[in-house]
Structure 1
Amino acid sequence: MSPCDTSYDNPVRVGLVGAGPWARAMHARTLAAGPETRLTAVWARRQEAAAEVAADHGAAAAATFDELLDRCEAVAFAVPPAVQAELAVRAAKAGKALLLEKPLGPDLASARRVTEAIEDAGVVSQLVLTKRYHPATREFLARAARLEVTGARSCYLHGAFLGGDFATAWRLEHGALLDLGPHLLDLLDAAVGPIVSVRGTGDPRRWIELTCEHENGAVSQASLSGTVRLPKARTRIELLGPEEELVYDTGSLDHEECWPVLRAEFAAAVRAGASGPIDARRGLRLQELLDQAVAGG
């Protein structure tokens, strides 16, 4: 076994920042499940919540962020963008690999600071762009690469901001563009071709419509909302052109298939000392597109 291999006898020791619904639902249980990773510590500003998550997964509850850094070689973030942007810089400077949520920060300037800190420190980074780790998404992108696309229609819609665990303060403040936009812009950029400009219209707290112009001359549109009542979340992309239509729809996908892939690829990147394509630099590109949409193109 080479030094770059991920050994089950040498799992990546990961500390988790955050103890909210998403930290509990995905990060903690995925990282604790292994075998490529081991959850060693949890830290959150609400100490009682961190202690509860840590106890559920056999990890330590860190009293401070610095203690968390001492207990791990990689840090996973499940906190609002502004908090991630602040602490990710500190973790990178401490030499820790980073598993980051999207968006990198609440604005373009903070996303740049995170990316620069990661590059200056030379640490591994990876983004939790959930759908990118599903085999069906990878098949769709492979098929899209062989198509000539003239235009695309897409949407990411749900009602989670109407109430419940995920109607959090930062989502209610910034709306669907900052939360859902990275997913859809990432997929359109990858499937249709590099996006060169984005124009947004509407209210991201209710419904926002994006028009994207791509490097190859194609045009795509994206509808985003977190405040529409639907039986379940709807993510759909239709690629249209002189060839047969290609449709990607997550309605029948089991997102549980994403987590083992995400965990294994992160651990492999950490052990190899090299980030994959879904890294902080990718997150910065998406943040640049979000910034364009906010500015009106």
Structure 2
Amino acid sequence: MEPVAVGLIGAGPWAEMAHAPMLAKGPHTRLAGVWARRPEAAARLGAPVFERVEELFDACEAVAFSVPPAVQAELGVLAARAGKALLLEKPLADSLENARRLADAVAETGVPTQMVLTMRYTPQTRTFLARCGEIEPFGGHAANISGVLTGGHAFGTPWRLERGALLDVGPHVVDLLDAALGRVTGVRAHGDPLRWTGLLLEHESGAVSEASLCMAAVGDLPPSTFAVYGRTGNAVLQPWEDDPFDIIAEEFAATVRAGGGHPLDAAHGLRLQQVLAEAERQLATP
């Protein structure tokens, strides 16, 4: 299969660490070029740098995003309307309104999409989810604790410092509990996204789950934990052994060539955003 020519929007730490190497490595994709608001940063990624995003669109058949959620929402619409397949970061957008606008543009144009929900591509996660399907699950819990907001962290970017754990790690946690226990149909939230947030999730299967999110912890911190309990056993997510980026690139190329059909598409990203928006609304209500 001819490698998919992918243009990258963004040149920050995550683009340099993950997206650019993944796309340039091949054999399923090739990095066709980069557009960023800081051309000097884009030049470090080892690909042609375009001054205008429309010129990047002309040079590729798909676009990957490594930018703040508000920028992805804005430029994702332009890329979809230009007929480009989209490799999208989480969350889909900075607001539910903008997430709907992007998802609507994708639906109208029919372009293939895939979300970079990194945890879902690891062999350990797929083994965990297969086990969840065997045990008739009725409940579970998750915790994702870090120190990203405490200062000096590479990912302590403005949007994370403003919105906190719910918008950043919330998509990962809600997505995985959704996959393990069934579609999330309700959420109750308490706490503070800049300190500690608790979520109680209700699933269409009748299961319930709890999640703790924090990006303001200090000291030695435990790895993320996910556990699910069922009528015939339990399932615990094991630590990652390998990074998921080869799998992400391979599946994205297959999604582009097939014209869509990936389960982690923009419509799925919108559904996650609906849960997170409701949680944010509850946390903002006195």
TM-score (norm 1): 0.92
Distance in 1 (CA, whole Å) between partners of 2:116 and 2:219 is 24
Kept in 2: contact 1:198–1:296 (CA 8 A): no
Aligned pair partner of 1:30 in 6, 22, 33: 22
Distance in 2 (CA, whole Å) between partners of 1:277 and 1:230 is 37
Following superposition, the deviation at residue 47 of structure 1 comes to 1.1
Aligned pair partner of 1:268 in 248, 254, 273: 254
Q: Does 1:184 align with 2:179?
A: no
Q: Find the residue that maps to 1:153 and give its secondary structure.
A: strand
Following superposition, the deviation at residue 254 of structure 1 comes to 3.0
Cα distance change, pair 282–230 in 1 and its aligned pair in 2 (3 A)? farther
Following superposition, the deviation at residue 217 of structure 1 comes to 1.8
Cα deviation digits, residues 119-178 of structure 1 (max 9, x gap): 111100000000111011011111101222222111111112222210000001000000
Q: Which stretches of structure 1, 4 residues or more, deviate above 4 A after TM superposition?
A: none
Kept in 1: contact 2:197–2:212 (CA 8 A): yes
Q: Find the residue that maps to 2:224 and give its secondary structure.
A: strand
Q: Does 1:168 align with 2:160?
A: no
Following superposition, the deviation at residue 218 of structure 1 comes to 1.6
Following superposition, the deviation at residue 85 of structure 1 comes to 0.2
Higher mean displacement: 229-238 or 181-190: 229-238
Cα deviation digits, residues 13-62 of structure 1 (max 9, x gap): 00000000000000000000001100010110011101122x3xxx2011
Alignment of 1:40-79 (within 5 A): 40-53=32-45, 55=46, 59-79=47-67
- Aligned AA (2:233): E
Equivalent residue number for residue 77 of structure 2: 89
Distance in 1 (CA, whole Å) between partners of 2:221 and 2:39 is 33
Cα distance change, pair 233–124 in 1 and its aligned pair in 2 (3 A)? farther
Distance in 1 (CA, whole Å) between partners of 2:258 and 2:236 is 35
Kept in 2: contact 1:235–1:249 (CA 8 A): no
Distance in 2 (CA, whole Å) between partners of 1:296 and 1:260 is 38
Distance in 2 (CA, whole Å) between partners of 1:148 and 1:132 is 20
Distance in 1 (CA, whole Å) between partners of 2:71 and 2:207 is 36
Aligned pair partner of 1:217 in 206, 226, 249: 206
Cα deviation digits, residues 71-121 of structure 1 (max 9, x gap): 111000000000000000000000000000001101111001111101111
Q: Number of aligned pairs?
A: 282
Distance in 1 (CA, whole Å) between partners of 2:221 and 2:7 is 32
Distance in 2 (CA, whole Å) between partners of 1:230 and 1:29 is 31
Kept in 1: contact 2:135–2:229 (CA 8 A): no
Distance in 2 (CA, whole Å) between partners of 1:265 and 1:171 is 28
Distance in 1 (CA, whole Å) between partners of 2:149 and 2:253 is 32
Which runs of 5 or more residues in structure 2 are unaligned? Answer: none
Distance in 1 (CA, whole Å) between partners of 2:147 and 2:74 is 29
Following superposition, the deviation at residue 194 of structure 1 comes to 1.4
Equivalent residue number for residue 4 of structure 1: none
- Aligned AA (1:197): G
Alignment of 1:127-138 (within 5 A): 127-138=115-126
Distance in 2 (CA, whole Å) between partners of 1:115 and 1:184 is 21
Distance in 1 (CA, whole Å) between partners of 2:70 and 2:196 is 23
Distance in 1 (CA, whole Å) between partners of 2:156 and 2:223 is 17
Q: Find the residue that maps to 2:237 and give its secondary structure.
A: strand
Work out the percentage of aligned pairs sharing the same amino acid. Answer: 51
The alignment yields a C-alpha RMSD, in angstroms, of 1.3
Cα deviation digits, residues 181-225 of structure 1 (max 9, x gap): 000000101101111100110000111000011112221100001
Kept in 2: contact 1:101–1:127 (CA 8 A): yes
Alignment of 1:240-259 (within 5 A): 240-250=229-239, 253-256=240-243, 258-259=244-245
Distance in 2 (CA, whole Å) between partners of 1:267 and 1:167 is 31
TM-score (norm 2): 0.95
